[in-house]
Chains A and B, each alone.
Chain A
Amino acid sequence: MTMQGVAASIGFVALWNKTDAEYRASASDEWATTARIQGAFKASRERGNVSAGLFASRLGSPYAYMTFWHCPDALSLVDSIADLERAGDFKFADSYHVFGARISGSCSTVMRVPGDARADHGLVAPTGLFVQWNVSARPDRAAAEYEVLEVLATDGCELAGAYDSRLSSSWERFAFAIAAEASLEQVMNDLRRVADRRGVVMRTLVGQLDRNYRFASHIQGERPWLDSDENR
């Protein structure tokens, strides 16, 4: 990347929990806000952002949900976050957000969305895998990073992208991958082996793909979280 380079494409991960306001919301507030959030998602797609979907992440993290977006540039991301602010999304969610510039050559040019992963692997519920790591203090950082990415791009694991997140985080790198359920244990073991052998400080979070959002304590079965067949 050079000073005059074209702006990098962006990866974005959101992890969130429900606020008390979500539990206290009236039905009209719930559905009016949900409709506005869907409008913000639609505008986001029109900007070229691609979402990997909604992943229930309580099984391995302090967060209820996780999502990942690949964005053509950072403006497409921040404009979409502003839309979500206006829609009232954040009255119902306390979020951890991180974004980074894509590491060149670290992923396919078109992210494969969960629908594709499901077809490829015959999965009912593909697993989203969010990995953050710090490696740059090591003299062998290139080799260590290569090994992390290699694990995330093995059979049964689809690397959506790897990103440099120092600009927005104390974690230097993150990657998002979608793993076949049957491959998850092997992928996690291989990541741990790389971390141990190379001394890479790493954090991993997993989540299972969910089609419907659990609002407060009920499932919004009336509509999918991403209200669009084109972007499951």
Chain B
Amino acid sequence: MAGFGREPMTDPIGWINHWRPKDAWYYLATPERRNLQVTWEDIRHVARADGARLLGQYESRANSPFARFSIWEFTRLSTLTAMLAALEDAEYYRYFVEDNVLGRRTSEPYANYDEAARLTEESA
């Protein structure tokens, strides 16, 4: 199993990354914005080289306080935490705010709840 453990694994970690710019982003000059974007993209590239996959990016402003979300898969939790630490060092969180969710992939999403319902039925 294991992206949550110490080694790369067969069950990847899914990460839904909700994000939007802070006010300060709008007041940066174009070269500053471009430089920051290049720096941040380089950091994400390092994560991809370490097995992370960016599955897609989506506009969500019409139905969420967050303007965008990105969907990622990681083979190791440490790849994600290192990416976030590098983004922080590169001032990403000075200009953007996030709200994130992660979990390991499952092929049996109902199984635990079926088991809980069966045991509840048994003890009724």
Check if A184 is an interface residue, CB within 8 A of chain B: no
- Which residues of chain B have C-beta atoms less than 8 A from A154's C-beta? none
Q: Does A32 contact B (CB under 8 A)?
A: yes
A208 to B: closest C-beta gap in Å: 30
B78 interface residue, CB < 8 Å from A?
yes
A40-B123 Cα distance, complex, nearest whole Å? 17
Question: Would you call B103 and A78 a contact (CB within 8 A)?
Answer: yes
Option from B50, B79, B119 in Cβ contact (under 8 Å) with A36: B119
Cα A6 to Cα B81 in complex, Å, equals 11
Are B116 and A86 in touch, CB under 8 angstroms? Answer: yes
With both chains docked as a complex, state the minimum distance between the C-beta of B13 and any C-beta of chain A, in angstroms.
8
Q: Is the CB of B112 within 8 A of A137?
A: no
Point out the residue from A1, A4, A7, A78 that lies within 8 Å of B104, measured CB to CB. Answer: A78
Q: Is A28 an interface residue (CB 8 A)?
A: yes
Task: Tell yes or no: A168 within 8 A of B by CB.
Answer: yes
- Chain A positions within 8 Å of B104 at CB level: 78
Is the Cβ of A91 less than 8 Å from the Cβ of B116? Answer: yes
Most buried by B among A4, A85, A86: A86
User: In the bound complex, do residue B5 and residue A170 qualify as a contact, i.e. CB atoms below 8 Å apart?
Assistant: no
Which residues of B are found within 8 Å of A8, using beta-carbon distances? 77-78, 81
* B78 close to A6 (CB less than 8 A): yes
Mark B residues whose CB is within 8 Å of A. Answer: 1-2, 4-6, 15, 22, 24, 46-47, 50, 76-82, 84-85, 88, 93-95, 97-104, 112-113, 115-117, 119-120, 122-124
